[in-house]
Structure 1
């Protein structure tokens, strides 16, 4: 099992920073149970307390660092740029490119029209 705790800053928060700074990573939790969330990198499932679902099935609330499976007020569907930013904060630099490529497959992100696959910096420079 290759499981990572979901401790990271919300991409929206990082985009709003005016200058580089050291931040305290936030523990992401399930929206109704407040249970800590984890990501299973081998299966691309997020879960808590024995309940797991594919990463693309989750909804996120970046204001309070929570996720839920069902759509709810204040929650938006998880997307590739959000997950790429999350991944960049929870895995090592060495592992990032490997997992980034796998993440593209999970979200079915296709290469750019010129035939080159998007680079991590291409995807991370979007406003989430």
Structure 2
């Protein structure tokens, strides 16, 4: 299983934060991949990757795209969980980040202090939303 906040981006051929030197292999847009700094792989998937370590894996310039390519080859189940990419702290957010300006938080030292002063971030621990509970129980 591959868990993350999934996205398809235009394939960037000019030099920028999303520039991909191997863009000629990808076509007009990136394939589905877990966008951003947070994603999870099941133990079965990781075990399979470790067993195959033979220097045959293609490496792209962004690790989230690299992992996405490997997952396409492995035919895994993708779980799109938006709580992994919340723009603000809520009772259901798992991670907060400044999407799409930065990969993670912009000015992380300052933003972490700001987030930890917000009632919604410190009063209640992250909990499963009612929709999530209905879907997975």
Structure of higher CA gyration radius? 2
Q: TM-score, normalised by structure 1?
A: 0.25
Structure with the higher strand share, 1 or 2: 1
Q: TM-score, normalised by structure 2?
A: 0.24
